Structure 1
Amino acid sequence: MKRSVLLPVLGAATLGVLALGVQASGAALPVQPTLKGDLDIHDPTLLKVADGYVAMGTGFEGIDGGTLRLKTSKDGVNWTDAGHLGDHQPAWVGKLLGQEPPNLWAPTLFQKGKTTYLYFAASTFGKNTSGIGLMTNPALSAAKPGVGWSDRGLVFASKRGDTFNAIDPYRIDTADGRAWLAFGSFWDGIKMRSLDPQTGLLNKQNATLYSLASRGGGAIEAASIVQHGRFFYLFVSFDRCCAGVSSTYRIMVGRSGAVTGPYTDKSGVPMMKGGGTQLQAGQGRFLGPGGQENYTDGGIQNLVYHYYDQDAGGASMLQTSPLIWGADGWPTLGALPEGTS
């Protein structure tokens, strides 16, 4: 679940120029870049802007008001800590939850024209009294990523008794001019609502709650969607998050001919019935990979995610990978950086 306790730790290892690696099958694939600098982040979102790269993640519990964390990079390889977004949580958060939570969770950045939309989650562990909020920025820059944000309030909420949990937001706009918000964690799984493309708030003309994926109450969360060719691909995380070296998070994918589903995995199993094709699980020091989100850089589709670094005591770290599309239309991730097995 995108709701971990995140304590500040020193980063180690980053994103670089793609080299060639070899899978066990012998097929050459790009290697995931070796990231460097300050990489301590959880539930990352990443956006390429005019003067570099901006990443955001879940807030540190009880530190800096629990507000969202910021990282920046000039080249997408070497990362620097950029502090946190504001000194306090929006006033509506405490009113919705009945108390201010230790931290805000799982941000996602989306850019339309010159406006950047930031969606994030407000909740507490194990409860589905939750809300997804929105902030906007007319001129986001890597030089000053914490400047220029305006609170647009609550987008959507869930409450005790609902069959869904309004956390882990992700926005996708489709070629027909419509906008969509995917979200969800545990309960009945991944859901979707229609958005107004301009305001970024719910579409008042379409109140349908779409169901995309479920494990019947089991661990599934961190949805993000990318279109490739004629299909939409839904990425999710399965299993245990937020437990350091004991985390069993893994990255899964399914696809559909429509953004609202139905999604199936590579074997044809519906994602509403627990289906999902595994892209990456724990290996070497890269334990519990998940909290993933797709992003585009220079026309290339990539995935950003966090993992728990066994060599750093289970600290949560930033990692990226190109999405490599096979002849069968399914994606794979690059091989892990050297020295990880």
Structure 2
Amino acid sequence: MKRTKTAAVLATAVLALLPATARADTAHPDPQPVSGQQIIHDPTVIRLKSGQYVAYSTGGVIGARLSADTRHWDDAGNAFAKPPAWWYEYNDTGDPWAPDISYRDGRYWLYYAVSSWGTNHSAIGVATSRSGLPGTWTDHGKVFGSETTDPYNAIDPALIEADGRLWMAFGSYWTGIRMVELDPRTGKAADGAPVHHLATRPDEPYAVEGPAVVKHGRYYYLFASYDACCSGVNSTYKIKVGRSTSVTGPYTDSTGTPMLEGGGDLLLAGHGRYIGTGGQSVFRDKGQDRLAYHYYDAEDGGTPKLGLNSLTWGRDGWPAVR
């Protein structure tokens, strides 16, 4: 039954009187309908200069899909014909994870991670392309790495430009989300750049990963995936967000709780058939922000599929999924 306008106003007034708690959406929207090749994991999406949309993802040699309208997606092969040789230092199959695509200085930049499950002997690499299309990428090798002696894991890259400088957020478990400055000429970690700490949680195994950082108004917003990925219908992935006036933090949620102390507002969680929503990225589409992520379809054996929603911003500056 639809609520009346008066009831909605009263409900808002009651909520305003409740004790401050981090925002937690209780009525999560379904993803927009999509057709064609829906299977995907850790999507990164961009609208190319040609007007086409491309989505790259974990799987294959960075799996690719193309669309004219974001509603119907066609399989477009892989970013690379074969894995660059250096990937095999990090796993036996040359399997890349969690790409991130961006555009600057007349080129598309594709960042990605190579690692093995359960270790932080990991690396992030980069490739460039003039068109952004699969099969056109030139690999430039390792950007940044981590070893088993490090307190972080160099996977799940996400690029952001801030005040004329280039930054890369990254991280998974191993104390959570980190950030390092990049040299804009090479796209690789700047010499001697410190590693900043953006988000973690107080409980082992510190299950927070897959950052995305977005500037809106005077704030930078850190989106991250929390809890368990990659277990089909048993996945508990969800997306949380915090914000900061500085790209390197500190990031806090709407109650002021730091994301370094377990804070974060719930943005999107599993509901109905859409289980384990996460592996997210944010992209601009015709002047609007959109959220891309994967979910596990409970009505299709837990198959990972593409989720797309509009990302809107409230008058208080906090994002919501529509």
Query: Is this a same-fold pair by TM over 0.5?
Result: yes
| Equivalent in 134, 150, 160 of residue 138 of structure 2 | 150
Alignment match, 1:68: 62
Alignment match, 2:56: 56
Structure 2 SS opposite 1:131: strand
CA change 1:26–1:103 in 2 (3 A) is: farther
Deviation at residue 113 of structure 1 after TM alignment:
3.5
Q: How far apart, in 2, do the equivalents of 1:30 and 1:246 lie?
A: 20
Gaps of 5+ in 1: 1-20, 60-65, 335-341
Q: How far apart, in 2, do the equivalents of 1:146 and 1:218 lie?
A: 35
Q: How far apart, in 1, do the equivalents of 2:134 and 2:285 lie?
A: 22
Deviation at residue 115 of structure 1 after TM alignment:
0.2
Kept in 1: contact 2:78–2:135 (CA 8 A): no
- TM-score, length basis structure 2: 0.88
* 1:90-133 C-alpha deviation (Å, 9 max, x unpaired): 111123x2x43462100000101420000000001010000000
Aligned residue identity for 2:126: L
| Equivalent in 188, 193, 197 of residue 184 of structure 2 | 197
Residues 1:214 and 2:214 aligned together = no
Q: Which has the larger radius of gyration?
A: 2
* % identical equivalent positions: 45
Structure 1 SS opposite 2:189: coil
Q: How far apart, in 1, do the equivalents of 2:232 and 2:8 lie?
A: 32
CA RMSD of aligned residues (A): 2.0
Aligned residue identity for 1:251: I
Q: How far apart, in 2, do the equivalents of 1:128 and 1:82 lie?
A: 31
Kept in 1: contact 2:278–2:294 (CA 8 A): yes
Deviation at residue 226 of structure 1 after TM alignment:
0.5
Alignment match, 2:239: 251
* 1:253-301 C-alpha deviation (Å, 9 max, x unpaired): 0000100000001111100011110011110001000000111011111
Aligned residue identity for 1:324: T
Q: How far apart, in 2, do the equivalents of 1:29 and 1:317 lie?
A: 17
| Equivalent in 275, 279, 284 of residue 291 of structure 1 | 279
Q: How far apart, in 2, do the equivalents of 1:203 and 1:299 lie?
A: 31
1:1-341 equivalences under 5 Å are: 32-49=31-48, 50-59=50-59, 66-95=60-89, 97=90, 99-101=91-93, 103-140=95-132, 145-174=133-162, 176-204=163-191, 206-216=192-202, 217-334=205-322
CA change 1:32–1:243 in 2 (3 A) is: closer
Structure 2 SS opposite 1:312: coil
Q: How far apart, in 1, do the equivalents of 2:264 and 2:307 lie?
A: 22
Kept in 2: contact 1:237–1:291 (CA 8 A): yes
Deviation at residue 198 of structure 1 after TM alignment:
2.8
Q: How far apart, in 2, do the equivalents of 1:237 and 1:269 lie?
A: 17
Aligned residue identity for 1:83: G
Kept in 2: contact 1:42–1:318 (CA 8 A): yes
CA change 1:29–1:129 in 2 (3 A) is: closer
Kept in 1: contact 2:252–2:259 (CA 8 A): yes
Kept in 2: contact 1:165–1:185 (CA 8 A): yes
Alignment match, 2:15: none
Q: How far apart, in 1, do the equivalents of 2:185 and 2:287 lie?
A: 24
Kept in 2: contact 1:101–1:124 (CA 8 A): no
Kept in 1: contact 2:87–2:94 (CA 8 A): no
